[in-house]
């Protein structure tokens, strides 16, 4: 055997051995795919599936800082700048059931009044904690007397003339039809006077067609044995919107849950027999809105407010606002200027 044959045979043997070793090589296992958070768009923007469940969760909130020159709710309150910081946290859940969407809502609020500087005067408040299914709502929410017709104008000080009750425990049924018809019936906790058995009652009807929406709601305060009715008309015409809302009190001499008094130092002055609110808004651009509101009562309270809402970047609001309140029965009035900075997420 010559040298050439020997070299060729050795090369062939090495090739066979290398092939056998390659066939027996250990291959590293591929990593298991990670379970990323899945978007849940069935219930709206911002929901995601809780890993390992079919329940969707949405988390949000806002941080706000207000600087005010006076208090729109109290005369003779222009004694210097007032500041207030607020944080709110929202948490909503939703899941599909054979009866429709099962939802929960939690809203928590923390306020810090700039009059204090020792850090111990932060107030904590639970604004909402409720469950909804098939149109039923149980738990803590704004009174349906307020919620069904909505707040007044798109201004910060919209309830100088108060338009109803806010947080209250309740059992409610809310209907919203595809044809534009809506309705609500509600029983609300009325244990403020130690009566543990009787409840306050609320009922309302609404209809929306085209550019217009009409809603009417009534409430009966069991403790006061009096009630009130509100009616509201809204119109939207492109970038311009407006509303008119009126309230009637069954006894103008009585201040009660559904015909409440204003805040501040004048809590004893209510509507009288009636109250009126009107407002308008105009969207100048995607980042700039103008809003105004006026209100007047049978008890001769006049309140006016106007603001500019500017969103320089998404999620950030800068809102200067000016208000004027006149209490004719006590011959007092008050101007107030404020600026609000708010980050929503």
Stretch 154-166: mean pLDDT, rounded?
96
The C-alpha atoms of residue 147 and residue 263 are separated, in whole angstroms, by 19
How many angstroms separate the Cα of 294 from the Cα of each of 144, 149, 173, 249?
23, 17, 32, 19
Contacts for 326 with CB less than 8 Å, ≥ 6 apart: 301, 302, 303, 332, 333
Lowest mean pLDDT among 1-15, 90-104, 140-154: 1-15
Exposed, middle or buried: residue 242 (CB in 10 Å: 0-12, 13-18, 19+)? Answer: middle
Is the pLDDT at 216 greater than 80? The verdict is: yes
Query: Quick one: pLDDT at residue 15?
Result: 47
Comparison of pLDDT for 167 and 34, the residue scoring more: 167
Percent of the chain topping pLDDT 70 = 85
Over residues 169-189, the pLDDT tens digits come to 999 999 999 999 999 999 999
Task: Name every residue whose Cβ is closer than 8 Å to that of residue 300 and which is 6 or more positions away in sequence.
Answer: 272, 327, 328, 329
Q: Does residue 10 surpass a pLDDT of 70? A: no
| Predicted local confidence at residue 203, as pLDDT | 98
SS3 percent helix, strand, coil of the chain, rounded to 5, is 10, 55, 35
For residue 118, what pLDDT is reported?
A: 58
Average pLDDT over every residue of 124-151: 97
At residue 205's C-alpha, the angle toward residues 104 and 178, to 5°, is 65
pLDDT above 70: residue 328: yes
Read off the pLDDT band of 7 (50, 70, 90).
very low
**Domain ranges (residues) in the chain:** 35-344
The answer to whether residue 34 scores a pLDDT higher than 90 is no
Q: What is the mean pLDDT of residues 188-192?
A: 85
Q: Rounded distance, CA 180 to CA 324, Å?
A: 37
Q: Which CATH code is given to the segment(s) 35-344?
A: 2.40.160.10
């Amino acid at each position: 055997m010559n040298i050439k044959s020997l070299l060729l045979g050795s090369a062939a043997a090495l090739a066979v051995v290398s092939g056998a070793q390659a066939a027996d090589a250990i291959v590293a296992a591929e990593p298991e795919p990670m379970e990323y958070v899945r978007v849940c768009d069935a219930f709206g923007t911002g929901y995601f599936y809780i890993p390992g469940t079919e329940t969707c969760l949405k988390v949000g909130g806002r941080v706000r800082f207000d600087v005010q020159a006076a208090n729109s709710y109290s005369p003779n309150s222009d004694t210097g700048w007032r500041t207030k910081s607020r944080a709110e946290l929202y948490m909503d859940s939703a899941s599909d059931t054979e009866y429709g969407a099962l939802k929960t809502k939690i809203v928590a609020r923390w306020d810090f009044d700039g009059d204090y500087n020792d850090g111990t005067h932060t107030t904590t408040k639970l604004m909402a904690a409720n469950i909804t299914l098939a149109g039923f709502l149980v738990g803590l929410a704004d009174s349906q007397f307020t919620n069904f017709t909505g707040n007044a104008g798109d201004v910060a000080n919209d309830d100088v003339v108060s338009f109803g009750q806010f947080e209250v425990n309740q059992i409610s049924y809310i209907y919203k039809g595809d044809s534009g018809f809506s309705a609500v019936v509600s029983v609300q906790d009325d244990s403020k006077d130690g009566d543990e058995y009787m409840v306050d009652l609320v009922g309302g009807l609404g209809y929306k067609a085209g550019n217009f929406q009409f809603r009417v709601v009534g409430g009966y305060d069991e403790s006061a044995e009096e009630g009130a009715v509100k009616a509201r008309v809204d119109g939207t015409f492109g970038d311009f919107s407006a509303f008119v809302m009126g309230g009637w009190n069954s006894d103008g001499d009585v201040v009660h849950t559904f015909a409440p008094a204003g805040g501040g130092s004048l809590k004893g002055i209510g509507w009288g027999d009636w109250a009126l609110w009107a407002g308008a808004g105009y969207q100048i651009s995607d980042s700039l809105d103008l809003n105004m509101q006026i209100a007047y009562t049978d008890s001769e309270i006049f309140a006016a407010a106007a603001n500019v809402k500017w969103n320089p970047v998404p999620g950030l609001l800068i809102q200067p606002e000016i208000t004027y309140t006149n209490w004719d029965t006590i011959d007092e009035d008050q101007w107030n200027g404020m600026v609000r900075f708010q980050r929503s997420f």
